[in-house]
Amino acid sequence: MNMKAFSELVGLSPYTLRYYEKMGLLNKVQRNTSGHRDYTNKDVDWINFVIRLKDTGMPLSNILDYAKLRALGSCTVEERQDLLEQHKENLKAHIELQLNHLKALEEKIFLYKQKKVS
């Protein structure tokens, strides 16, 4: 799969994909005979997981930590699991907080509806 197809499939611009690769988030991407990138289905799965981590607020530097452990192979499975567990807890806390914010926002809107806000 070439750059364009991969880019459209995963929803990241070619600029961003090269940037991710340069910083080490996307390793050993295959090249065809003329030096152009040739992405695989495994790359699709991996980048989608990266996007999920990013969309749940994990900074790229932390995702990179995970990626480096992954590149080291199965001896890092436990450490990676710990990172994900930790991230899961952070995410749960984030969702709780956002639910509180939502409640407060609804109360504020209620005040507007009661014309109690100038």
Partner DNA sequence: TTACAAGTTAGAGTTAACTCTAAGTCAACT
Partner DNA sequence: AGTTGACTTAGAGTTAACTCTAACTTGTAA
- Residues 89-118 binding DNA (CB under 7 A) are none
Q: Which does 2 bind (CB under 5 to 8 A by kind): a copy of itself, DNA, none?
A: DNA
The set of residues, in sequence order, having a beta carbon less than 8 Å from that of 2 and lying 6+ positions away, is 36, 37, 38, 39
The yes or no reply on residue 88 touching a copy of itself (CB under 8 A) is yes
Closer residue to a copy of itself, CB minimum distance, 5 or 105: 105
Residues 6+ apart with CB under 8 A from 20: 12, 26, 47, 50, 60
37 binds DNA (CB under 7 A): yes
Q: Find where tokens 């910083």 sit.
A: 23
Among 19, 49, 69, 80, binds DNA (CB under 7 A): 19
Through-space distance between the first and last CA atoms of the chain, rounded to whole angstroms = 57
Is 48 or 78 the residue whose CB approaches DNA more closely? 48
Place of tokens 């409640």: 103
Residue 72 interacts with, from a copy of itself, DNA, none (CB under 5-8 Å by kind): none
Verify binding: residue 3, DNA, rule CB under 7 A. Answer: yes
